[in-house]
Amino acid sequence: MMSEKKIVFGTWEVVAVLITMISTKCIMYFPRTMAEDSGTAGWIEALFISVMAFIVFVLISRLYSPFEGKDLIDIGEYIGGSAGRIITGLILLAFLLFLVPLVFREFGEQMKALGFVNTPISFILFFFASGMIVAAYFGLEAIVRFQSIAVTVIVICYVIYILLLWPRYDITQLTPVLGTGIKDIFGRGFFRLSEYAELLLLFMIMPFIKTGRNFRTAGYVAIGLNAFFLLTVTLANLLAISYPTTVENTIPVYVLGRLIVYGRFFQRIESLFVTTWSLVGLMYLSTGFYFILHIFKKVFRLEYTRPLIWPFIILIFNLSLFPSNIKRTIELEVNYFRNWAWIVAFALPILILFVARAERAKREKRNTEGTR
Amino acid sequence: MITLDRIIAVIILLWVFVYTVSYGKWTWRRRNRLGAVMVILLALAAFVLPILSIFYRQG
């Protein structure tokens, strides 16, 4: 396996990872959540969230400019030495150890609901866990390069899927235009910035991107494409299924697939959805899992990630079984994590970068005074 | 109650525990004390948590 320090990722590879990490929610709860929040104006909320994410990213990328090639843990160390590295790393680790088990359970439960109603949840989760273990053994390079190919295919399938629904779209279903009101769109939308929380991984991939230019390009392209997916899926859901019926669908995209009917032979396309859906799930979980290992290794200066695979997969497996059912799992993610994750995903990097810039200015001033 | 699936689970957990602790010990010998302690804590968590949920979980 190539040493991590020698691995360099191109812009598309990073974008593909961010599409997997952010847009996975399109096929899970996202269209329903938008409709629940703002009614028929869910699409405006999706757009608003993306615009906010873009603005926050512009701010972060400007602050990041003197720290090319450094991830958040390196910057934490720059500010506070070992203590700074450990505190930053532990916060990031806690963030991922909350998110990954929840998504892991959600995928398992949804798989159970889609086709394995009588199978125990632990048995279904075992297969996802096996995929995560194999991916972690292959390492970050294999995970990212695989996604750069798979995401291209999935994106094409997604666009076809949305276009096939065209006859079902009814523009009048978007009225009233402001849905449940401006307060809901922008008030709730503000906290939903956390839907872009996985953008945090971009700040962890930084050492593999090398240049600041690639970092910014990857960020802008990723936010643009994710905005397109989040907006189109919300729009398709609202246009094809009238509000408030749409809020009753646990997996809206699956229900949308059932609406695609072209003659006697081209129908029930949702069966194809299950295959794509499990592939996306596996890519999401593999990436999240690998970053847990990577952060733990980096924070505690360990030499290998492989011996950490088994204890962490057992931990994630068990943490994922803590919520009593699918309802509680989604509630924990949507009502708690997705309302507050922006603090770790955006406020923390901004704070760290502000302090690091101040520290840098102080050191430069000290150096200039020393040379006089 | 002790059943075959529980026995298999405990054997796997013990194997992972020993494997992880040995990595912790190796890290300790490399003079990375904090890293070693954290790996051993991880090994403990990955052993104790499943045992608790296997034997004491309600429902």
Tokens at residue A191, please?
């906290």
At residue A270, the pLDDT reads: 76
Largest CA distance in chain A: 85
Give the range among A286-300, B2-16, B38-52 with minimum mean pLDDT. Answer: B2-16
At residue A3, the pLDDT reads: 60
Residue B41 resides in a domain: yes
10 Å CB burial of residue A6 (0-12, 13-18, 19+) is exposed
Residue A1 resides in a domain: no
Residue B26 resides in a domain: yes
At residue B32, the pLDDT reads: 95
Predicted TM-score (pTM) of the model is 0.93
At residue A266, the pLDDT reads: 78
Q: Distance between CA atoms of A162 and A203, rounded to whole angstroms?
A: 31
Contacts B20 to A, Cβ<8 Å: 307-308, 310-311
Question: Which residue in A301, A314, A318 is closest to B16 by CB distance?
Answer: A314
Largest CA distance in chain B: 45
CB pairs A-B closer than 8 Å: 54
Convert the pLDDT of each residue in A264-303 to its tens digit: 777 777 777 788 888 999 999 999 999 999 999 999 999 9
A307 and chain B in contact, CB less than 8 A: yes
Residue B2 resides in a domain: no
Question: Which residue in B27, B45, B49 is closest to A302 by CB distance?
Answer: B27
Domain count, chain B: 1
At residue A368, the pLDDT reads: 84
Percentage of chain A beyond pLDDT 70 is 98
Say if residue A14's pLDDT is above 80: yes
The answer to whether A96 touches A296, Cβ cutoff 8 Å, is no
Say if residue B3's pLDDT is above 60: yes
Task: Provide the pLDDT confidence category of residue A372 given band limits of 50, 70 and 90.
Answer: low
Question: Which residue in B27, B43, B53 is closest to A311 by CB distance?
Answer: B43
Residue A98: give its domain's CATH number.
Answer: 1.20.1740.10
Say if residue B58's pLDDT is above 80: no
Domain count, chain A: 1
Place of tokens 């955006």: A346
Select, from the ranges A21-25, A260-264, B24-28, the one with the highest average predicted confidence (pLDDT): B24-28
**What does DSSP assign to residue A325?**
S
The answer to whether A37 touches A192, Cβ cutoff 8 Å, is yes
Say if residue A43's pLDDT is above 90: yes
Average pLDDT, chain A: 91
Tokens at residue A188, please?
């709730």
Among A330, A332, A289, A323, smallest CA distance to A308 is for A289
A270-299 residues touching B, CB cutoff 8 A: 296
Say if residue A212's pLDDT is above 90: no
Tokens at residue A90, please?
């532990």
User: Per-residue pLDDT averaged across A138-145, rounded?
Assistant: 94
Task: Provide the pLDDT confidence category of residue B57 given band limits of 50, 70 and 90.
Answer: low
Say if residue A256's pLDDT is above 80: yes
Residue A2 resides in a domain: no
Residue A23 resides in a domain: yes
Say if residue A1's pLDDT is above 60: no
Say if residue A45's pLDDT is above 50: yes
Give the domain extent around B32.
Answer: 14-56
Give the domain extent around A243.
Answer: 7-371
Residue of A250 and A44 predicted with greater confidence? A44
In terms of DSSP H, where are the helices of chain A?
Answer: 11-23, 30-38, 42-64, 72-115, 121-138, 140-164, 182, 189-191, 200-209, 212-240, 252-258, 270-299, 306-320, 326-331, 338-342, 348-371
Task: Provide the pLDDT confidence category of residue B59 given band limits of 50, 70 and 90.
Answer: very low
User: Per-residue pLDDT averaged across A9-26, rounded?
Assistant: 93
User: Per-residue pLDDT averaged across B9-38, rounded?
Assistant: 96
User: Per-residue pLDDT averaged across A173-177, rounded?
Assistant: 89
For residue B43, what is the enclosing H or E element? helix B33-56
Cα atoms in the 13 Å half-sphere on the side-chain side of A243: 29
For an interface test with B, the pick among A93, A126, A133, A310 (most B C-beta atoms closer than 10 Å) comes out as A310
Convert the pLDDT of each residue in A82-130 to its tens digit: 999 999 999 999 999 999 999 999 999 988 888 888 999 989 999 999 9
The answer to whether A227 touches A197, Cβ cutoff 8 Å, is no
The answer to whether A209 touches A218, Cβ cutoff 8 Å, is yes
Residue A350 resides in a domain: yes
Convert the pLDDT of each residue in A304-355 to its tens digit: 999 999 999 999 999 999 998 888 888 888 888 888 899 999 999 999 999 9
Say if residue A167's pLDDT is above 50: yes
At residue A8, the pLDDT reads: 87
Residue B19 resides in a domain: yes
